[in-house]
Amino acid sequence: MSPASADSVGNHRFLQEEINGFDNDNSTSTEKSIPSSSSSLRSILDAIPKKERDKLLRILLASAKGFSIGAGLKGGLALFAILARFARKKPPRKEIAVTNGEAVVAALKETLRYGLFLGTFAGTFVSTDEVIGTLAGHRRTAKWRALLAGAVAGPSMLLTGLETQHTSLAIYILMRAAVLASRCGIKSKRFGKICKPLTWKHGDIFLMCLSSSQILSAYILKQDSLPGSYKSFLNKHGGKDPVILQGVKDIASGKPFTNLGAIEKYYRTVGVNVKLNPNMKVPCSIVHGNQSCGGHVLSFLFQAYKRALPVYLPVYLIPALIVHRKGLLKRPSTILGKGLIGTARSSLFLSVYCTSAWMWTCLLFRIFKRCNIPMVAMGTFPTGLALTIEKKSRRMEISLYCLARAIESFFTCVADAGYLPQSRKIKRADVVVFSLSTAIIMHCYAQEREVFRSKYLNVLDWVFGVPPPTCETPRCKDR
């Protein structure tokens, strides 16, 4: 036997003796007088009744699992962003230069914040659930306990930063809550007829088209109405320099051109010599220089696909490591193969989405021989049809994600126009909306579990572990 294996066996035997409370007769007086940490912990746990110990264990496990999901998702995305930063050959602009060390520190802070956020949310929910059930009875409070616990856990969002607004996230979670509530309504005898229109087969595509009209119009005309991170995402995958967007904005707003010289200078830096007409009616020469509209679509699609691939690698890889961690060891080729296919398919969706935004607007401008704000909104509406490339199970997720940002952008534009002056005075409305939404979601989780898709239900069960009480199961009710 090797020394390492002998040490391992000895350590294992020592721990086993500590757990079983076994004392050797040959132990020294020093060992008897100084209790080990394991025996002290064992005595503390033994002093707690089994039921209370199980509740405490559930709280600790939920907090740890919530932290692992929050830190894993945020950390995974941050890791890919840092790797992309290291692989980038072109240095960032001087006015926004951030060193690699600063980027790593910022990524670690964000990872820790989101881990604490989800860990605290899970721990708070489970704690509140257990306290109410213990004080008032699990059976008596079964219908409303999860609703209250979800609302109490909502303010844990503040752990991501007291000054950080998460309006988009709050609206997205609200949309998810609305979907679950609508599914409950469809099942209901009282509200079934009212919720029937929500079962429209292509409702997700319509929502995506509606969202695209607002988001992409704001991308061109009013980027300040979009969240900072989402604005950066659109600027990257929109594939156009800010001077080009400004030129399109000028002609769509009916204002004199302010930067035609800057646009021509930009094209010269990429090897294109173009002369822009200040009296143009459509901005096609601004958007793609000397290229034809068809040629621009093909070249842009190829470039957009290369930009989209790094986006979806973590989207499919991280859930595979968390949700399918056991199956990954048994059948890695199957799970990784599905992940690669999903990455390729979703990357095609994003690249076609971005490409079709310029295709549809160019087509509409050419047909009507004009460019204005209504034309921009109309031209960006059919862009949402690209969602048909995605799997049916992902379409509603994506459409709700975009709808949340479209709603935020829309109300920001309305508020900036002076129609909602009081809305600026509401502080941390995102926390209120998030708490309301999590209350609905957790209530559905405890009472209407069948409205969840199986993969989400498995994750929630893994984190929270809220099975229905024994007396509430269908078999017990039938009996």
Provide the pLDDT confidence category of residue 36 given band limits of 50, 70 and 90: low
Do 223 and 192 belong to one domain? no
Provide the pLDDT confidence category of residue 226 given band limits of 50, 70 and 90: confident
Range of the domain at 241: 206-421
Is 473 among the domain residues? yes
Do 241 and 128 belong to one domain? no
How do the residues of the chain divide into helix, strand and coil, expressed in percent and rounded to 5? Answer: 80, 0, 20
Mean pLDDT of the chain: 79
Residue 454 to residue 163: CA distance in whole angstroms: 36
Looking at the predicted structure, is the pLDDT value of residue 212 above 90?
yes
Helices and strands (H, E) in the chain, number of each type:
20, 0
Interval 308-362: pLDDT, tens: 988 888 778 777 676 666 666 777 777 788 888 889 999 999 999 999 999 999 9
Dihedrals phi, psi of 357, to nearest 5 degrees: -60, -45
Do 166 and 278 belong to one domain? no
Of the candidates 320, 110, 357, 72, the one whose C-alpha atom is nearest the C-alpha of residue 229 is: 110
Average pLDDT score over residue span 459-471 = 69
- What is the pLDDT at residue 75? 82
Number of domains into which the chain is organized: 3
Is 427 among the domain residues? no
Do 353 and 460 belong to one domain? no
Provide the pLDDT confidence category of residue 8 given band limits of 50, 70 and 90: very low
pLDDT above 90 covers a percentage of the chain that reads 22
Please give the distance of CA 75 from its chain centroid, rounded to a whole number. Answer: 13
Is 346 among the domain residues? yes
Do 268 and 373 belong to one domain? yes
DSSP strand E in 86-170: where? none
Tally of CB atoms within 10 A around 424: 10
- What is the pLDDT at residue 314? 79
Do 126 and 152 belong to one domain? yes
From residue 370, alpha-carbon distances to 94, 261, 364, 378 in Å are 38, 22, 8, 13
Do 369 and 238 belong to one domain? yes
Q: With beta carbons less than 8 A apart as the criterion, state whether 120 and 63 touch.
A: yes
Do 443 and 403 belong to one domain? no
Is 185 among the domain residues? yes
Q: Which alpha helices (DSSP H) does 373-428 contain, by range?
A: 373-380, 392-416
Q: Which residues, in sequence order, are CB contacts of 210 under 8 Å at separation 6+? A: 381, 384, 403, 406
Interval 414-446: pLDDT, tens: 877 777 665 555 677 888 889 999 999 998 888
Is 444 among the domain residues? yes
Is 387 among the domain residues? yes
9 vs 251 pLDDT, higher one: 251
- What is the pLDDT at residue 97? 53
Q: With beta carbons less than 8 A apart as the criterion, state whether 234 and 219 touch.
A: yes
Is 426 among the domain residues? no
Out of 401, 421, 441, a domain closes at: 421
Surface-to-core class of residue 367, CB atoms within 10 Å of its CB (0-12 exposed, 13-18 middle, 19+ buried): exposed
Looking at the predicted structure, is the pLDDT value of residue 143 above 50?
yes
Looking at the predicted structure, is the pLDDT value of residue 185 above 80?
no
- What is the pLDDT at residue 390? 92
Do 174 and 254 belong to one domain? no
Reported pTM: 0.66
Residue 338 to residue 200: CA distance in whole angstroms: 29
Do 267 and 383 belong to one domain? yes
Is 250 among the domain residues? yes
Do 41 and 56 belong to one domain? no
Average pLDDT score over residue span 359-383 = 91
Do 185 and 309 belong to one domain? no
Provide the pLDDT confidence category of residue 22 given band limits of 50, 70 and 90: very low
Interval 44-96: pLDDT, tens: 656 677 777 788 888 888 999 999 988 888 887 777 777 777 766 555 444 44
Q: Which residues, in sequence order, are CB contacts of 355 under 8 Å at separation 6+? A: 297, 300, 301, 304
Of the candidates 44, 66, 40, 64, the one whose C-alpha atom is nearest the C-alpha of residue 53 is: 44
